[in-house]
Chain A
Amino acid sequence: MLKWAKKYMLLILFWGFIGVFALLDLLIPWREFSEMENRYLARPPVFSTDGMIKNTYTQKYEEYINDQFFLRDGWITLKSIGESALGRIENNGIIYGQDHYLFDKVTHMDLRQLERNIGHIEMFLQNYSDKHITLTLIPNSYAVLGDKLPAGFNAFDQLSVIQEYNDRVRAAGGNVCDIVPALMEHSGEYIYYRTDHHWTTTGAYLAYEAYANSLGVGYKNLSGMNGYEVEDFLGTYYSKAKPFSAVPDSITWYDIGAASVMIDGQEYPGLYNWDMFQRRDKYAAFIYSNNGLTVIESGANLNHRADEVSRVLVIKDSYGNSFVPFLLYSFDEVYAVDMRYLLDIDELLDAVAFDDIYILYNLASFAQDTNVFRINP
Chain B
Amino acid sequence: MVFSSILFLFRFMPAAFLLYYLTPRRWKNLLLFLLSVLFYCWGEVRYVPLMLASTLVNYAVGRGIEKFRRSKVACRLFLALSVTFNLGSLLFFKYANFFIGNINTFFGCGLGLLSVTLPLSISFYTLRTMAYSIDVCRGNSPVERDFIDFAAFVTLFPQLIAGPIVKYTDISVELKERKVCADQIQRGVFTFIMGLGSKVLIADNIGSLWNEVEALGFANISTPLAWMGVLAFSLQIYFDFGGYSLMAIGLGHMLGFEFPQNFNYPYISKSVTEFWRRWHMTLGGWFREYVYIPLGGNHKGKVRQYFNIFVVLALIGFWHGASWSFVCWGLYFAVFLCLEKMFLLKWLKKGRVWSRMYLLFTVVLGWALFAVADFGQLRQFLHRMFVFSPGMDWVYYLRNYGITFIMGILLSTPILKRAQKRLNNPAADAAFSVAVLVASVAYLVDSSYNPFLYFRI
Contact = CB atoms under 8 A, between A and B. Distances in A.
17 contacts: A6-B426, A10-B189, A11-B186, A13-B430, A17-B438, A22-B10, A62-B6, A62-B7, A65-B10, A65-B11, A66-B447, A69-B6, A78-B439, A78-B442, A87-B402, A93-B448, A153-B396
B136 interface: no
Interface string B141-183: 0000000000000000000000000000000000000000010
A165 B190 CA distance: 59
A92 B445 CA distance: 13
Given A79-B442, A82-B442, A152-B394, A9 B430 contact: yes
Interface in A29-66: 52-53, 55, 58, 61-62, 65-66
Contacts of A186: none
Given A11-B189, A76-B445, A151-B392, A86 B6 contact: no
A14 B193 CA distance: 9
**What are the 7 closest A-B residue pairs judged by CB atoms, nearest first?**
A152-B395, A152-B396, A10-B430, A75-B445, A78-B442, A153-B396, A79-B442
Given A14-B433, A19-B14, A153-B396, A86 B189 contact: no
Interface of A: 6-11, 13-15, 17-19, 21-22, 25, 52-53, 55, 58, 61-62, 65-66, 69, 72, 75-76, 78-80, 82, 86-90, 92-93, 107-108, 150-154, 242
B51 interface: no
A89 B399 contact: yes
Contact of A10 (B11, B44, B429, B442): B429
Give the interface SS of chain A, mostly helix, strand, loop or mixed. helix
Contacts of B437: 14, 17
A60 to B, nearest CB: 12
Contact of A7 (B41, B426, B438): B426
Interface in B432-457: 433-434, 437-439, 441-448
A9 B45 contact: no
Contacts of A62: 5-7
Nearest to B404: A86
A199 B355 CA distance: 57
Contacts of B439: 78, 82
B46 interface: yes
B419 interface: no
Given A17-B434, A18-B13, A150 B442 contact: no
Contacts of B426: 6-7, 9-10
A324 B144 CA distance: 79
A93 B397 CA distance: 14
B131 to A, nearest CB: 30
